[in-house]
Structure 1
Amino acid sequence: MAAPNPLKNPQFEFKSLLLLVLAASLLFALILWPFFGAICWAVFIAIVFWPMHQRFLEGSHGRKNMAALASLTVILLIVILPMAMVIASITSEASVLVEKMRSGQIQLGTYFERAIAVLPEWARSMLERFGMTDLGLLQRKLLAALSSSGQVLTSRVVGIGQVTLDFIVAFFVMLYMLFFLFRDGEQLSQSIARAIPLHPQHTRRLLTQFATVVRATVKGNIVVALVQGTLGGVAFWVLGLTGAMLWGAVMALLSLLPAVGAAMVWGPVALYFFFTGALVKGIGLTLWGALAIGLVDNVLRPILVGKDTRMPDYLVLVATLGGIVVFGLNGFVIGPVIAAIFLVSWEMLASARQQAHIPPT
């Protein structure tokens, strides 16, 4: 009797196939890595605007190409184009602010001396111990740091053109991917569900949680950040502060961080008003920041995000900060999504173990 061929062993064939799939997946991920951010944002935007695309699909009587093109056009008109205009305005305002600082219209030294003069004695002594009260010394340290990093900055200026080209390419890759995600998203999600080696119930729950958290994070965080940034910019404009739109954009960006957010900008400004004797402005800004800007997070976020996807604030903060450190600006979405999948996967594992120990009736 002939000995069995070890190469025809089903276990060996399955392990070989698994090794091939893992190797091909790693190489494919390596190829896609340069466009990781573009692909992520294409997926995020497709998930957020999927209900709108479904209405376009019903209105076009099932014509997928027409519905995908209509969804992409609406996103360009109501999201991307206004965002580009706001970014251009913020850049222009930032350049004007820098020019005023250079020309002496805005004298940081005067503001610095006023803030130091109104501080309590213990605070001034603490700052003097660290050499933080001498504006000239601080300026010399800043110039020394800039001069030491001048070569690095000069070398990076050469790469500005390459960075701009990479951004343009990534932007068009995102739009291209977004069109096909709208057109073939349903079939693609079904293929992913079939390929995931989990129980169908666990697969459905995992994919549903992924889509829910992405939709809630993008919709909730971005809308809350825009509202808080707008309210902060309006407050700064009413108070006559220079660069109100710029500081509003900074507040919107910081609003992506839960628990701290926009208060990192308007809080020090309110303290400066109090220290310099502008009590009316200080009280007004504090009330506006605490009541209007601060309550936006407590009122809008539960409506946009929902209670079912609400994670603990400390977990959201850590996941958001960690995601930004690892993935850059994309991390404010990727971080909470990874945290949510982490919680769901461990919960499914605990549930499966519990069911395995229940004796049959």
Structure 2
Amino acid sequence: MSNNKYNDAISNTKIKQIALIIVIVTLFLLMAYQLAMFIPSLLGAITLYVISRKYNLYLIEKRNWKPWISALVIMLATVVILILPLYFLIDTLIEKLGNAQAYMDKFNDFLDKIHSYILSEVQIDILSKENLDKVKETAGQLSTTILSSTLNTVTIIASTYFLLYFMLVKPRVFERILTNAAPLKKTNVNLISEKIRKMIIANAIGIPVVAFGQGLAALVGYLIFGAPSVMLLFALTTIASMIPIVGGAIIYVPVALFMVAEGNTIPGIGLAIYCLVVVGLIDNVLRFTLLKKLEDIHPLNTVFGIILGMNLFGFMGLVFGPILVSVTLLLIQIYRDEFSDEDNVVIASDEEALAGIATTEDVEENNTNSTTNEP
């Protein structure tokens, strides 16, 4: 009789627990849906907070600065260090693309020359008139979108700094709220927060540095081989270098083809070889040194994470796309640690999780070896 009452109590508790979870998830999804426009701003504020957290706490707790003064100084520093270079990069693009008609005329001439050159050399109409018209139409729509999104970008940046200010003024309270809200063990909460911190730093600092390094290397090539509008190409190559798989090649390969089609065969071929070798080398060196040092991120994580993140979050997806993939893999392992009956659960790195290394058999083998080696 007592067992039945106990089972009924457990059943009622589980029902209440499930009902509460459904209510929480529903409210969370409702808030996320209504505040979706602020998600990029929130992600941007979190990124800047993580990057500047150490310095903010130092000014408040070690130097005894007033929190609002520390917050304003940190925000000003991030504007100077992070936002201004991005502003000048975008300003260069807008200045070059501002005269839309002249730009489209040059772009159409650019495509026509590449098309004529390929057709004369290989006798195959790779770029048919229909495909060529589609490319021109897409390019026109893209240039219009870039120009029209300027106001939206300013709004996102303003919202980002509005949220960042309140995070920086009371950093300990902000972190305590997030920690207490997480329905996990404290050790696993700390594990997730440390993982997110490393991933944010690796992506927010590492990816732009790698892209800027490739852009500088390509700029040297553009200057050496006499490419047109070198500063515009530098800006485009830097931005394109953040795109997974293709990267800056979507800029310098067409430029090299254009130079060859113009009759500058040797400089065009030289630019193509230079960029494929030097820019590719810079990419590999920086990725396997800087990014490896900041956080050991699996290449598949980066590729699929950026593709996923760009679709979900826009530009901030470059940072939070890979984080989303990594945290998902980490949560699967934490679920085993929180609710599995296994005594030993290994929280693996991205490399191990994606490769399937952290398995129960590995744990059992390690336990067996340790038992065997005991005196």
User: What is the Cα deviation at residue 16 of structure 1?
Assistant: 5.3
Residues 12/315 of structure 1: CA separation in 2 closer, same or farther (3 Å cut):
closer
- 1:63 alignment partner in structure 2: 66
The residue correspondences of 1:159-198 to structure 2 (distance < 5 A) are: 166-198=152-184
User: What is the Cα deviation at residue 79 of structure 1?
Assistant: 1.9
User: What is the Cα deviation at residue 91 of structure 1?
Assistant: 1.1
User: What is the Cα deviation at residue 251 of structure 1?
Assistant: 1.8
- 1:93 alignment partner in structure 2: 96
User: What whole-Å deviation, never above 9, does each CA across 1:256-294 have from its counterpart, x for those lacking one?
Assistant: 234431123223444565675622552354234412x22
- 1:226 alignment partner in structure 2: 212
SS in structure 2 at match of 1:294: helix
SS in structure 2 at match of 1:229: helix
The residue type equivalent to 2:164 in the other structure is L
Distance 2:252 2:56 in 1: 39
User: What is the Cα deviation at residue 42 of structure 1?
Assistant: 0.8
Residues 108/285 of structure 1: CA separation in 2 closer, same or farther (3 Å cut):
closer
Q: Could you tell which deviates more after superposition, 71-80 or 57-66? A: 57-66
SS in structure 2 at match of 1:49: helix
The residue type equivalent to 1:73 in the other structure is L
The residue correspondences of 1:196-275 to structure 2 (distance < 5 A) are: 196-270=182-256
- 2:50 alignment partner in structure 1: 47
8 Å contact from structure 2 (residues 92, 235) kept in 1: no
Distance 2:98 2:291 in 1: 36
User: What whole-Å deviation, never above 9, does each CA across 1:18-73 have from its counterpart, x for those lacking one?
Assistant: 44433332332233212111111111121122233334335641522211111001
Residues 246/10 of structure 1: CA separation in 2 closer, same or farther (3 Å cut):
same
The residue type equivalent to 1:25 in the other structure is F
Distance 2:153 2:251 in 1: 29
8 Å contact from structure 2 (residues 97, 103) kept in 1: no
The residue type equivalent to 2:165 in the other structure is F
User: What is the Cα deviation at residue 78 of structure 1?
Assistant: 2.1
TM-score normalized by the length of structure 1: 0.76
User: What is the Cα deviation at residue 207 of structure 1?
Assistant: 1.3
- 1:73 alignment partner in structure 2: 76
Residues 38/103 of structure 1: CA separation in 2 closer, same or farther (3 Å cut):
closer
Q: Does 1:23 align with 2:26?
A: yes
User: What whole-Å deviation, never above 9, does each CA across 1:131-171 have from its counterpart, x for those lacking one?
Assistant: x36x6x666x459x959xx9x99xx99xx98x665544332
Residues 98/299 of structure 1: CA separation in 2 closer, same or farther (3 Å cut):
farther
Distance 1:105 1:211 in 2: 45
User: What is the Cα deviation at residue 253 of structure 1?
Assistant: 2.2
Q: Does 1:83 align with 2:86?
A: yes
8 Å contact from structure 2 (residues 306, 318) kept in 1: yes
Distance 1:54 1:190 in 2: 14
Distance 2:156 2:199 in 1: 24
Distance 2:264 2:85 in 1: 39
Structure 1: 5+ residue stretches without partners: none
User: What whole-Å deviation, never above 9, does each CA across 1:77-98 have from its counterpart, x for those lacking one?
Assistant: 2221332222112211234585
8 Å contact from structure 1 (residues 213, 337) kept in 2: yes
Distance 1:220 1:201 in 2: 27
TM-score normalized by the length of structure 2: 0.74
8 Å contact from structure 2 (residues 211, 239) kept in 1: yes
The residue type equivalent to 1:243 in the other structure is S
SS in structure 2 at match of 1:332: helix
SS in structure 1 at match of 2:343: helix
Residues 182/80 of structure 1: CA separation in 2 closer, same or farther (3 Å cut):
same
- 2:36 alignment partner in structure 1: 33
- 2:343 alignment partner in structure 1: 355
Residues 10/170 of structure 1: CA separation in 2 closer, same or farther (3 Å cut):
same
Identity between Structure 1 and Structure 2 (%): 20
RMSD: 3.9
Of 284, 287, 304, 1:301 maps to 287
Of 251, 256, 266, 1:279 maps to 266
8 Å contact from structure 2 (residues 208, 242) kept in 1: yes
8 Å contact from structure 1 (residues 219, 304) kept in 2: no
SS in structure 2 at match of 1:346: helix
8 Å contact from structure 2 (residues 202, 294) kept in 1: no
Residues matched between the structures, number: 334
